Structure 1
Amino acid sequence: MDGEIFNLQKEHNLIKQRFIEKGWITVYRSYKDGEKVETGIYCLLVKPEHFDKYIETRDWGIRWGSEGHPSIITRYENGQEITEYFRFGDEGLEPFVFPKWFNHANERYVEVSQEFVNYFNLFEKANTKQDRTYYFIDEVGDEEEVIKVKEREVRIKLKFLTEYLAVRKIHISICFDIMLITDLKGTDITFTPKDQDFIGETFNYNHLMRVVPGLDKGSFQSWIIGKTILKYDPAKSLIFHFDTYEEDNENFIIGYNEDGNLLKIPCHSQDHQFFTPVFFKKDVLNKYYANPHKFDVNGFHISSSFISLKMDNNHDDYVMVFLNDLKMLPAKEQLHWKHYNIAPEPGMGLSGSYYDTMVMGNWARDSDSVDIRFKEKYVRFNEKWFEKFGWYFYKEQVGTDKDHFNALHLPSENSVKSFSDQLLTIVKLTIDSLNEEMLIKGLPKIENERGIAKFERFLAEHSKTIPDMITFLRNLQDLRSGMIAHRYSSSNKNMKRAVEYFGLKDENFREVAQDIFVKSLYTLNTLSAQFLNENDG
């Protein structure tokens, strides 16, 4: 042990910081650290009108074990007995954390003010009563940690506590009782008695260093006790986490001005209210496709429990949104979209499917984007197949299959990872999901026969011969197997044949992905024509 530890220097520094570290404030603690420093931290709320009296002494006002207990107090006034109920026993003070221990169950845990939890509508995730975390769910559904509760410690993210104090116009007192008792054997510490008060506008504590004979663990005591105050900021009393402000709306590129520079207009502009198109790279949708359990993306909307945005997602290379629709997004999401904003170029505009559907109200037209069109056709085909034959051509999606389907899209970037992710899903949908049992129902069983072979026999049984389709499916399966399902090998003949079939090179992953979507759509259209008497373009 060195002198800094015995002098509780680290603890002095924490008091100066009001126990705030890296954006978090400790409001409760009760344990010994590795240096045998026993730390007790407790907090309570102090009404401003009682603050001057409260800060005059080191007394906490409320101590754990007695906090928050309603009191029934009887007094005599003018010879009459008056009994009153008090929510808290101390006038002007209010508990904020509630340490609880139950001897009969040998259990202890800590609760935090339910009013604070309710104000931010915090969501609790608990491993046990002694290990809980509370989350704030923001306007787009993202989680942010606010309270971390352990059996002997509670920490709160400072920005949330600061708002709560400002809105309630109340201060918080962080009270502390920190003690180290040692015999100082084997140290070079020169003991000097100390009894020093530290008193300021927002703190009042004492550091006592003394000899205490007869203690089992030693005779030297270093002890700090008192409180420090985090006062509310009146300037923040009208700033609320749930408020939105016009200045939070972002500017977006809508074209070029007379000087040839980019023309940027705020999305809440009154001068550009109607049908002003704004264009974005396809990459803007990646975060939504990556969270299919949370966001639904189609040719005309992004939607979730938290946001809804109309958009034209029917182009292969860009996304279009009308300027004023962007103001419906929370500020955080506007920043995301702004990052992918691009200037309009010749040939860019509304897709025919968006115009017909969203502007003219004609819901009959399919999407102009091949990935959206494929997904629409896939669902429609499977439903109509069931209506006609009483079984689904592709097995129904269960579990996470629906999420994979929703996340399927034409890769926005030309990378092997993006390509492989989408390849895996499209093979799962079109080959792995073949209803093999029904395809060969009533046909002779062949040992080790796989899905595409069963499909080919099904076609033959119905006097259908579609060799181009079978060739495509076999090469698609071999491409998936060679790139994803198995370790890549340049000697894999099936893989090499599939690469040649698709013309796959390092620089054309996105182009090949588009070709796979086109051929997969062709498969659905061909089956519709052959079995359902439908001819789709």
Structure 2
Amino acid sequence: MIKMLTMDEALKLLRDGERRQWLIADWSWHISGSGNGGVYIGLVRGDTADNCLNDASWTVSKGDGLTGFSMWWEDGEERTEYSYDPASGESWPLVIHREFHGLEQDQFDLLEEFRLFHNLWHDRKTDNYFKVLADGTKQKVVFCDSSGAMLVDTAAIRKFCAVRGLKILLQVDSVQFFDEPQEESSEEITDSALCASRHVTNDSISGKPAFGRFLGKRLIEALPIEKCGVWPYEDESTYESFIIGIHNDGSDAVFTSNPDELADYFGKNADNPHYLTPVHFRKDVLKKYLEKPSLYSVEDGYLRCGSMWGLRMDNDHEDKVVVFLGDLGRDLPESEQQYWRSFNVRPDGGLSETCFKRSFLAQFADPTNPDLAIKFERRKLLEKWHEAFGFGLYVDFHKDDTGVLADLRVPISDEWTEFDRCTIAATKVFIDYLNESQLAKLAATEIAAMKANDPDKPVRGIDKLQAWLRQNGGINPPEDLIASLRLLQDLRSKSAAHRKSSALTALLTDRGLEDESPREVYRQLILEPMLEYCRRLSEFAENHIQTSE
């Protein structure tokens, strides 16, 4: 960790200027026996920019007036005017310091217009600022490092200065103490963009035999306005090309996803591939999005990144995802197009029946792929159960578990680690979030019988559901479904929650699945039984509704 800047380091900081990825926007230090000083960025224009290198002293100081009144005489009359320097003045602070006379902790604010220009998200826990990128990730723009220095992305501030007609003034003041006498010196350092003074003396200060002071500043030009990155100076869009078929010679047929170059049903670009040309991808293209439910939502026929962008897709397939060529270019950011291209494969088969009905026949169609069907059937169960019995079979997810539904799916890879992840998700969804308090309240008689029959066995969530079905399910309650929940619990215990052991091997052997892949095990022992569980309990609730009517 850098604790201070020596005089040599301060000069190097100025000379490096815009070559640094990060500029120190605000920093001060005081280290007993070593030195003190600070770095501060100002933004200048007009006469202030033209004259600021006439001497080495700072032009923009911490706490310089931002708001207030000015008074002057004009034509024999006193005039008063209120002003806000960043709107009307020639020198602005990038970091605004505010102090409260020791009654409260001092605070700083980042110049509001800079924040708004880049639409920065402020993490109030860390006081860092981020730009939310098109792929949903956050790019750090302003942050505090371990030494307490506030750093700003050089390109970001130069872009802001480009549109505002400003220049960056990087200012440094470094006092350094020496343990031995030094050769006394005094020099002025100037060039076209830098002005500094450096003095070293053997006069005694703070008990040290010598000290020196470096005071200086450097002007950094804004980027050309054409590089500011905002409309109308945005970079020209580029479009990825994708495999859409096979040529006669066996090579891949590739075409751009630029919607403006694709054919449509009205005669546009008649010789080119159609906007609705299906493009095929390996199913694991979705893994990136499934693993980040806080950023992305993988839904039935749709992928979204918050409200930033969304993509229609045909994901009702076992091992692939299909997207229309024009949608790839129109709806995906450039970085995401490049990501999808790496999963692009030659077309094999057509659209799913579900997608065809929805896209071309304008018909409603339920998904058939188990990954999608399980979520659809679970939603249906929740609605039917509440309508039939007046309470929720499951409680709402905790805020830290809201993304667990994304992992209620057949594992994309044949890795046991992903099997474990998906197994834990299924257990949370179907067991851990059972509405135990309501089930216990409405099945008190049957639960008491369970405890009397086996006093040493605790009555847990699955037992409470079984007790509720016995007490409230009528003549033929679907009590056999409890076995599916117990098997799911057993799989979590033998595979996901603990180390793998012979117990898991014995379980799989007993089911005839010892040679199957983790994906197939998950499908047969978890997903398909849970589909039946949802469908039969929905039917059970529906029958209760009809009987009650």
Structure 1: distance between partners of 2:61 and 2:401: 54
Please say if residues 124 and 134 of structure 1, whose CA atoms lie closer than 8 Å, have aligned partners that are also in contact: yes
Write the mapping of 1:2-401 to structure 2, written as runs, cut at 5 A. Answer: 8-18=7-17, 21=20, 23-33=21-31, 36-47=34-45, 50-77=48-75, 79-88=76-85, 92-105=90-103, 107-127=105-125, 132-149=127-144, 153-184=149-180, 191-213=182-204, 215-234=205-224, 236-240=226-230, 245-269=235-259, 270-271=261-262, 272-303=273-304, 304-326=306-328, 327-345=330-348, 348-363=349-364, 365-395=365-395, 397=397, 399-401=399-401
Structure 2: distance between partners of 1:488 and 1:405: 25
Amino acid at match of 1:480: R
Q: Judging changes above 3 Å, is the alpha-carbon distance between structure 1 residues 69 and 275 closer, same or farther for their aligned structure 2 residues?
A: closer
Amino acid at match of 1:267: S
Amino acid at match of 1:356: K
- 2:58 counterpart SS class: coil
Q: Tell me which residue corresponds to 1:511.
A: 520
Question: CA offsets per residue over residues 155-192 of structure 1, 9 Å max, x none?
Answer: 112221121112223111111111113452xxxx6x22
- 1:64 counterpart SS class: coil
Measure how far apart 1:500 and its partner are. 2.2
Please say if residues 409 and 527 of structure 2, whose CA atoms lie closer than 8 Å, have aligned partners that are also in contact: no
Please say if residues 73 and 86 of structure 1, whose CA atoms lie closer than 8 Å, have aligned partners that are also in contact: no
Amino acid at match of 1:382: L
**Range with bigger deviation, 504-513 or 174-183:** 504-513
Please say if residues 452 and 474 of structure 1, whose CA atoms lie closer than 8 Å, have aligned partners that are also in contact: yes
Structure with the higher helix share, 1 or 2: 2
Q: Tell me which residue corresponds to 1:521.
A: 531
Percentage identity across paired residues of the two chains:
25
Measure how far apart 1:36 and its partner are. 1.3
Question: RMSD between aligned alpha carbons?
Answer: 3.3
Please say if residues 475 and 501 of structure 1, whose CA atoms lie closer than 8 Å, have aligned partners that are also in contact: no
**Is residue 2:501 matched to residue 1:489?**
yes
Q: Judging changes above 3 Å, is the alpha-carbon distance between structure 1 residues 7 and 45 closer, same or farther for their aligned structure 2 residues?
A: closer
Question: CA offsets per residue over residues 109-133 of structure 1, 9 Å max, x none?
Answer: 3322111112112222234xxx621
Q: Judging changes above 3 Å, is the alpha-carbon distance between structure 1 residues 222 and 393 closer, same or farther for their aligned structure 2 residues?
A: closer
- 2:366 counterpart SS class: coil
Structure 1: distance between partners of 2:495 and 2:12: 57
Q: Tell me which residue corresponds to 1:474.
A: 486
- 2:115 counterpart SS class: helix
Which runs of no fewer than 5 residues in structure 1 stay unpaired?
none
**Range with bigger deviation, 517-526 or 235-244:** 235-244
Structure 1: distance between partners of 2:302 and 2:397: 22
Please say if residues 476 and 498 of structure 1, whose CA atoms lie closer than 8 Å, have aligned partners that are also in contact: no
Measure how far apart 1:207 and its partner are. 1.1
Amino acid at match of 2:103: A
Q: Judging changes above 3 Å, is the alpha-carbon distance between structure 1 residues 160 and 263 closer, same or farther for their aligned structure 2 residues?
A: same
Question: CA offsets per residue over residues 72-109 of structure 1, 9 Å max, x none?
Answer: 131355x5545454544996333322233332416333
Question: CA offsets per residue over residues 513-534 of structure 1, 9 Å max, x none?
Answer: 2223223222333445566359
Which runs of no fewer than 5 residues in structure 2 stay unpaired?
263-272, 452-456, 545-549
Q: Tell me which residue corresponds to 2:408.
A: 408
Aligned length: 513
- 1:334 counterpart SS class: helix
Please say if residues 505 and 514 of structure 2, whose CA atoms lie closer than 8 Å, have aligned partners that are also in contact: no
Measure how far apart 1:58 and its partner are. 2.1
- 1:116 counterpart SS class: helix
Please say if residues 291 and 407 of structure 1, whose CA atoms lie closer than 8 Å, have aligned partners that are also in contact: no
